[in-house]
Amino acid sequence: MNRIVIIGASDAGISAALSAREYNRSTEIHVLSADNFPNFSICGIPFFISGEVPEWQNLAHRRIGELEAFDIDFLPGHNVREIDAGSRQILASDPAGTTKQIDYDRLIIGTGAVPVSQKIPGYGLPGVFLLRFMEEALELQKFITERSPSSALIIGGGYIGMEMAEALHRRGISVSLAEIGPTVMPTLDPDMGEILREALASRGVQILTQTPVAGIEQAKDTLLASGQNGPIGSFDMILMATGVRPETSLAERIGIHTGTAGAIRVNRRMETNVSDIYAAGDCVETWYRLLDRYDYMPLGSTAHKQGRIAGINAAGGDMEFKGIVGTQVVKIFDQVAARTGLKESEAESAGMTPFSVRLTLPDHKRYYPGAQDMHIRIIGDLKTGRLLGAQILGRIGSEISKRIDIFATALHCGLTVADIAELDLSYTPPLSSPWDPVQEAAKVWLRHEKAPTGVFPITGKT
């Protein structure tokens, strides 16, 4: 009987376990989790903090009992200390501190990622929080409930920082956000990030761009944050949302190769360079279809897909990970921001000849009540006509996610910008236009592909 052992019980690990079981009913499967929150939605933490998800238990994708019903052995609270690839064994400490020796035939590493603290002086003071794991979420929730902070500083203007700005604002906390770059959401082009910054400012969130935090000090009951050019302000709490790095220490100790951003190097079958050891999720590189190379882009959706490939192959299958095109979406107050593919600057760095247009279009026919403007940027290659990327920003209810997924599908299939204009998309006046905004953007790109400027505010009737 093939015995699969999986280190890690988040998205990649659980997906691997369930997929291995689905593929092979007789495989013996053991999953070790360092914490006691297997299969919890880390992506849902901001919505628990905001109160939109009232109970933390609701963040569980599946309960332990549901998972065990698939004949999978779960070992929560087990810290893996060592992998012996030669003997095909792992050593793990259980909650009581007892060392266990567990044999494997195939091993899957899904150790995820850990927060980047940037070693800011003052990190670790009471009232300074990270937000990556459930334990940290519960600590933050307890602090807010018991201390009733009135002000907070968020360090980092990426996805988690932006979602947490809304979450804390919903809790009645005055929020400031410090971002080291020139605008928030650096995964978007600067002009799109500026639109988002203005939306947050209109809600009372203070946005401090080009403001690296150099230190944090305790001053009685408050925390003083300072930048390179002086004080930033005093706050009741500080949340650090400065990104993550892959957790690869176990893998590196047994000679598993790492690559981009220090992530575990895998092939398309999710195999490492060590025989019968696979890896998946936020600890590994991922295949980027547009650039035909590996990159590091830790996303929950990617972890699920990679875990599936690793689980099936460990159970005797033969599948390859098809790769990503960098599709992401986030909701901030009533705004939704999404991107897929490359930014214009990224395409230029890759040696392409990108050209982009940005339009402002209604999400459905203007004569039907409730039409809202949405901003669309489409990027294509001038030499080949190939679609390279897209960004959309608009209000909730404008089908932003659906529309970015159209672009993502086109990128996955290698379509040109002209191909998008020919797609057979659905239409009814309350939801779209005869030419969907996605296609209208493609038509404008084709019409202006050699124009000197890339911004065309088309706001007339459609």
pLDDT for residue 61: 86
Domain boundary among 216, 242, 268: 242
Is residue 223 assigned to a domain? Answer: yes
Task: Tell me whether residue 61 is exposed, middle or buried, using C-beta atoms within 10 angstroms of its C-beta: 0 to 12, 13 to 18, 19 or more.
Answer: middle
Domain boundary among 212, 242, 272: 242
pLDDT for residue 159: 92
d(CA 329, CA 310) in angstroms, rounded, equals 25
d(CA 274, CA 265) in angstroms, rounded, equals 11
pLDDT for residue 451: 44
Which residues of the chain have a pLDDT value below 70? 1, 118, 449-462
Q: What CATH number did the domain enclosing 284 receive?
A: 3.50.50.60
Both 24 and 99 in one domain: the answer is: yes
pLDDT for residue 452: 42
Is residue 453 assigned to a domain? Answer: no
Domain boundary among 266, 282, 314: 314
d(CA 321, CA 316) in angstroms, rounded, equals 15
Both 140 and 233 in one domain: the answer is: yes
Is residue 23 assigned to a domain? Answer: yes
Sequence letter at residue 264: I
Q: Which residues of 139-153 are buried (b: 16+ CB within 10 A; e: fewer)?
A: ebbebbeeeebebbb
DSSP alpha helix (H) spans, 207-365: 249-253, 300-314, 344-349
Can you give the residue range of the structural domain that contains 52? 3-112+245-314
d(CA 177, CA 180) in angstroms, rounded, equals 10
What contacts 420, CB < 8 A, 6 or more positions away? 387, 406, 407, 410, 438, 439, 442
Both 275 and 193 in one domain: the answer is: no
Write out the H or E segment, with its range, that includes residue 64. Answer: helix 64-68
Contact of 459 with 371, CB cutoff 8 Å: no
Cβ of 56: how many Cβ atoms within 10 Å?
17
Cα–Cα distances (Å) from 431 to 196, 355, 368, 425, in that order, read 23, 29, 9, 11
pLDDT for residue 450: 57
Give backbone dihedrals phi and psi of 265, rounded to 5 degrees, phi first. -85, 125
pLDDT for residue 449: 57
Q: Give the 3-state secondary structure of residue 191.
A: helix
Q: Give the 3-state secondary structure of residue 375.
A: strand
Contacts within 8 Å (CB) and 24+ apart, 221-229: 223/122, 223/125, 223/127, 223/128, 223/153, 225/153, 225/155, 225/178, 227/178
Domains in the chain, number: 3
Is residue 57 assigned to a domain? Answer: yes
pLDDT for residue 1: 59
Rg value, the chain, Cα: 24
pLDDT for residue 118: 63
